[in-house]
Amino acid sequence: MRAHKLLLAIAGLLISDAAVAASGHALPYTYQPDTSNIASMQRGARDFMAYCSGCHSMKYLRYNRIGNDLQIPEELLKSSLMFTSTKVGDQIHSAMPAEASKVWFGQTPPDLTLETRARGASWVYSYLRTFYVDTTRPVGVNNLVLPGASMPHVLWELQGWQVKEAAHEGGEAAEHGEEHHGAPLKLVQAGTLSPDEYEKFVGDIVNFMSYAAEPGKSIRMGVGPKAMVYLLLLLVLCYLLKKEFWRDIKH
């Protein structure tokens, strides 16, 4: 009985990244991060530094670790990723003093190193895609998955502006399944990227953030099979050794 419950709990942990927000509501978009796509994570790292590190830190990650893991040469690392620091061994701090940002936004922008593990990749992906115009909010926007968010829509130039579609508010679930219509939002002013390009842009950032949350993961996946082969060989050797010892004793 107890084993049964334990199994259920483990299964629950495994699917915790599924398309379910903490509140139990379905998320408008799902996203399966790809931390084997180096090019995408390189773009994500570049974009994160350019658009996010002004406010958010990633203080459990160092620049040279990113450089090694994502195969970014030191020169490029220094010239195009390191805006808030000069030493490659430094952790990624935000450019903004925590106290001041609390006054400006009412919230200190949280550290994002472990964000995709805390909220799930699909949540972060949905968050970055579902800012919409809301003039009742101090920052002029609201967010579908974080209602009342105090973060401005920092990617508006790329995405453009979305508004909430009144018709959907009654809950026409059937229409939500359509491609690019996962959220009841309508683009009313285009940005510099097409909706498809913006989707990929956000995907790159989420891939990078998923790497940042577990930088050892792809390395661990590589080590796993080798460790299994090693253990199997060891097992065979131990078995042969055991046979060897017992032969003398039996006769």
By the criterion CB under 6 A, which residues form the site for ligand HEC?
Answer: 51-52, 54-56, 105, 107, 109-110, 112, 115, 119, 124, 127-128, 146, 149-152, 154-155, 205
In the bound complex, what is the minimum distance in angstroms from residue 5's beta carbon to ligand HEC? Answer: 30
In the bound complex, what is the minimum distance in angstroms from residue 150's beta carbon to ligand HEC? Answer: 4
CB-nearer residue toward ligand HEC: 46 or 56: 56
CB-nearer residue toward ligand HEC: 93 or 168: 93
Q: Which of 115, 16, 109, 99 is nearest to 61 (CA)?
A: 115
CB-nearer residue toward ligand HEC: 17 or 115: 115
In the bound complex, what is the minimum distance in angstroms from residue 173's beta carbon to ligand HEC? Answer: 26
What 153-158 contacts at long range (C-beta under 8 Å, 24+ apart), as own/partner pairs, is 154/51, 154/52, 154/55, 155/51, 155/128, 155/131, 155/191, 155/198, 155/201, 155/202, 156/131, 156/191, 157/191, 157/192, 158/191, 158/192, 158/193, 158/198, 158/201
CB-nearer residue toward ligand HEC: 51 or 168: 51
Q: Which of 48, 25, 232 is nearest to 154 (CA)?
A: 48
In the bound complex, what is the minimum distance in angstroms from residue 205's beta carbon to ligand HEC? Answer: 5
In the bound complex, what is the minimum distance in angstroms from residue 203's beta carbon to ligand HEC? Answer: 12
Residue nearest to ligand HEC (CB): 52
CB-nearer residue toward ligand HEC: 57 or 182: 57
SS3 177: helix
Q: d(Cα 234, Cα 217) in Å, to the nearest integer?
A: 25
| Residues 82/45/63/149 CA torsion (nearest 10 deg) | 80
CB-nearer residue toward ligand HEC: 53 or 69: 53
Q: Does an H or E element contain 164, and which?
A: strand 160-164
Q: Does an H or E element contain 227, and which?
A: helix 217-250
221: its two tokens: 């996946």
CB-nearer residue toward ligand HEC: 8 or 50: 50
Query: Tell me, what DSSP letter sits at residue 26?
Result: B
In the bound complex, what is the minimum distance in angstroms from residue 36's beta carbon to ligand HEC? Answer: 21
In the bound complex, what is the minimum distance in angstroms from residue 30's beta carbon to ligand HEC? Answer: 16
Pairing, β 185-190 against β 160-164: antiparallel
